[in-house]
Amino acid sequence: MQQRKSPLTIILMAAAFISSPALAQGGGHRLAACKDDIGKYCASEPRGHGKIRACLEANKEKLAPDCRTALEGASQ
């Protein structure tokens, strides 16, 4: 029989999921506006170690205005 997880356990598990490697790049949550641009220009980049951010920076002129704004805000 499987034991039910307490609400605290569920909250802690959710917090661990939210702080995943995508966010560990620094400012990842602020780059949500870049989701389409990441798929378009950086889909082949491995996650982590700032690879996605570097790819976005390299393609800055092509990015949507909201993504460029988010990228600049995440850098600060």
Model-wide pTM > 0.95: no
Q: What is the mean pLDDT of residues 46-61?
A: 92
Question: Has residue 48 got a pLDDT over 50?
Answer: yes
Question: Has residue 60 got a pLDDT over 60?
Answer: yes
Percentage of the chain exceeding pLDDT 70: 58
For the chain, the distance separating the N- and C-terminal CA atoms, rounded to the nearest angstrom, is: 50
Question: Has residue 40 got a pLDDT over 90?
Answer: yes
What is the Cα–Cα distance from 49 to 21, expressed in whole angstroms?
A: 9
With 0-12 CB in 10 A as exposed, 13-18 as middle and 19+ as buried, what is 63? buried
- Per-residue confidence (pLDDT) for residue 65, from 0 to 100: 95
- Per-residue confidence (pLDDT) for residue 74, from 0 to 100: 74
30 close to 74: Cβ distance less than 8 angstroms? yes
Domain boundaries, the chain: 26-75
